[in-house]
Amino acid sequence: MYLIVGLGNPEKQYEKTFHNMGFIAVGDAAEALGAKFKKKECEASVAEAFVGGEKVILVRPLTYMNNSGRAVKQLMNKYKISPEHLLVIYDDYDLPKGKIRIRASGSAGTHNGMRSIIGETGLNNFPRIRVGIRDEEVNIPIINYVLSEVRKEDYETFAEACKKAGEAAAEFARGTSIDNVMGKFNQK
């Protein structure tokens, strides 16, 4: 069983913000796997797919970014998910806009949603896909930037990055090792 989590904020006002790249990408993963977000459980919006007889749970926590770990911990406990079958997709200010980077494990870096997941679960040895959002042309505090809307001229760049992140997540859910997913999708 796999748990694919996209981080973001649930209200409409955040829909097109940089901080919702995880929500968008997990939506793309759900589409690639033929799943729809139809139900709510464990403080999350959930979609389910079956791939090769294996259940895949796609998740958008409804706890807001800074408390994402609450929903992730509940779902991991409910479905007995091992860390290597958890994948988290999120925005990353430390990567240039439109780049994706996949890792098998790591720290939270500057990301509060990841801090929450690591803090709640006590784990950092789970795969993650980061969608780069940094724009060298914009010089405002990070908190203001991540909650601002993607500029129209950048929309296609981020839509493409989220689609690629969603494809990588779907590949992982199909049983491809994280090392092979990294080899295929990490951008130089």
Which residues, including other chains, have CB under 8 Å from residue 155's CB and lie 6 or more apart?
A: none
What whole-number distance in Å separates Cα of residue 3 and Cα of residue 55?
9
3, 17, 19, 30: which is the annotated catalytic residue? 19
* Alpha-carbon distances, residue 80 vs 21, 73, 176 (angstroms): 26, 10, 20
Burial 141-174 (b: 16+ CB within 10 A, else e): eeeebbeeebeeebeebbeebbbbbbbbbbbbbb
What whole-number distance in Å separates Cα of residue 117 and Cα of residue 40?
19
Catalytic residue at 19?
yes
If residue 163 lies in a helix (H) or strand (E), which one and from where to where? helix 155-173
Phi then psi for residue 19, to 5 deg, are: -70, -5
Beta strands in the chain (DSSP E): 2-6, 39-41, 44-51, 54-61, 86-96, 100-103, 128-134
Residues labelled as active-site residues: 19
